Structure 1
Amino acid sequence: MKFAFFCVISMLALAGCKSEYEQMVDREMAKGIRQDSIFLGMTFGMTRDEFYKHCWDMNSKGLFLNSPLNNSVEYDISKYLRHPGKAHFYPTFFEDKIYEMPVMFMYDGFAWQPSYSSDTMMVDVLKMLTSWYGEFKEFSHPDKGNIYVNINGNRQIRLYKDKINDVIKSVFTDLSIDKEKVRLALQPSLDTLKH
């Protein structure tokens, strides 16, 4: 009896060692739900060719454009914001499939005007994403400050303010993909750096 009690207490103590965020991830992943939808018809697992074809189709409809620096896709989100603004995105591929989608949100106006600040943009983007994906939970991050997280099955959405560039960033991540495998695959080999 004492041994069983000790085991139960030990398991509770170990579970208590996980952060609230880690518990949230574990709880959602345990549901076994796959949420591959990212936004605007893009999904986790979409191949590079499928992504380019989808963007081409959306571009021909006038919905997607090349970003000004030609390094991401641009989508006008003005109808969801109090001021005209854009979302810029380009996926991270692992084994030629989308596993993560970083997104940068910014107003078209000048950031040094208070009504165009990243604080104002955060309110707008959080409201927009909440209407699309449900509630976000706020966490404190040592480097990024306040970060908002929504996890539904394997799909995690993180939203935070980039204080240096005064923009809002979001990252959609497929939590079912092994992060260590991705890190090793995307990390340049030391041999390449030596030459």
Structure 2
Amino acid sequence: MRFGVFIFTVFVFSILLFGCSNKSEYERKVQEGLNSEKEVNEIFLGYEFGMSREEFLESSWEMNQQQIISGGVNIVYLLEDLKSTVSLEFYPQFQNGVISKMPVSASYISWSPWNEQYNADELLKDLKVYYEEFYSTTFSQVDVPGIETTPWISIEGNREIRMYKKSVNTVQIDFIDISKAYRN
């Protein structure tokens, strides 16, 4: 009888010790994405993770000639699929010569302090719905280290899309290749 109680106690203690993880919800989601071995390189406008700097510049030049985007150091794309035009300003970060992250600053061009429907809180809601449909994904609010507000994130394979309010009129959107960010 005592031996049975001892085995049961060891079993319960083992479950508690090894079953509970110190990883945050965000770290678990990143690990699930990496473990899936699914490769999702699509960012937007034909930009992809793994694109070389030269490919990025050539693609940007072509879209600039077609007046799809404008700019150089900061590229601007006007997204017209929401209730008002959204200015998306971006320029990728490269790791080992290829795109590993695409930080995007988004704001409604109709924003002003008296136009509440165009503030960052509203834009964040609108972008969440838009990107869920566009990428056929779902977003969840998860605490992420280094970000004061709780962002909306979607992780599919190696691609993380992270969105959060940056200021009264701006939403930060980060497209991150987590295979580069968390495996190196």
Task: State the TM bucket, normalised to the shorter chain.
Answer: 0.7 to 0.9
**Aligned position for 2:171:** 168
Q: CA deviation at 1:179?
A: 4.8
SS of match in other structure, 1:23: helix
Deviates more, 1:112-121 or 1:150-159: 112-121
Please name the residue that 1:93 is paired with.
94
Provide the TM-score with structure 1 as the length reference.
0.80
Separation of aligned partners in 2, 1:166 and 1:132: 23
- Structure 2: how far apart are the matches of 1:117 and 1:53? 34
| Moved beyond 2 Å, runs of 4+ | 1-10, 139-144, 178-181
Q: Which one-letter code corresponds to 2:148 in the other structure?
A: K
Kept in 2, the 8 Å contact 1:28–1:154? The answer is: yes
Q: How far is 1:144 from its partner?
A: 3.0
Give how far 1:122 is off.
1.1
What is the aligned-residue RMSD (CA, Å)? 2.2
Cross-structure match for 2:79: 77
CA distance in 2, matches of 1:34, 1:104: 25
Which 5+ residue runs of structure 1 have no aligned equivalent? 182-195
Taking structure 1 as reference, are residues 166 and 180 closer, same or farther at Cα in structure 2, changes over 3 Å only? farther
- Secondary structure in structure 2 of the residue aligned to 1:177: helix
Q: CA deviation at 1:71?
A: 2.8
Question: Alignment partner of 2:126: what SS?
Answer: helix
- In 2, distance between residues paired with 1:158 and 1:41? 19
Count of residue pairs brought into register by the alignment: 174
Equivalent residue, structure 1, for 2:133: 131
Amino acid aligned to 1:61 = Q
Please tell me whether the aligned partners of residues 144 and 160 of structure 1 are also in contact (alpha carbons under 8 angstroms): no
Q: What TM-score do you get using the length of structure 2 for normalisation?
A: 0.85
Give CA deviations for 1:88-115 in whole Å, capped at 9, x if unaligned: 1100011111100001111112331212
Would the aligned equivalents of 2:108 and 2:169 in 1 still touch at CA under 8 Å?
Answer: no
- Who wins on radius of gyration, i.e. which is larger? 2
Aligned to 2:41: 36
Q: Do 2:85 and 2:108's aligned partners in 1 also have CA atoms closer than 8 Å?
A: yes
Match of 2:65 in 1: 60
Identity %: 28
CA distance 1:24–1:129, shift in 2 (3 Å):
same
Q: Paired residue for 2:18?
A: 11
Deviations 1:73-96 (A, max 9, x none): 111102x21112211110001111
Query: Deviations 1:128-163 (Å, cap 9, x if unpaired)?
Result: 111122110112457432310000011111100012
Gaps (5+ residues) in structure 2?
1-5
Does the CA-based 8 Å contact 1:104-1:169 persist in structure 2? yes
**How far 1:121 sits from its partner (Å)?**
1.1
| Alpha-carbon distance in structure 2 between the residues aligned to 1:110 and 1:75 | 17
Deviation at 1:170, TM superposition (A): 0.5
Q: Which has the higher contact order (CA 8 A, sep 6+)?
A: 2
Name the CA distance, whole Å, in 2 between partners of 1:26 and 1:179. 9
Asked if structure 2 preserves the Cα contact closer than 8 Å seen for 1:144 and 1:161, the reply is no
**Structure 2 residue identity aligned to 1:105:** A
- Quote the Cα distance in structure 2 between the aligned partners of 1:23 and 1:143: 17
Tell whether the 8 Å contact from 1:111 to 1:118 is kept in structure 2 after alignment.
Answer: no
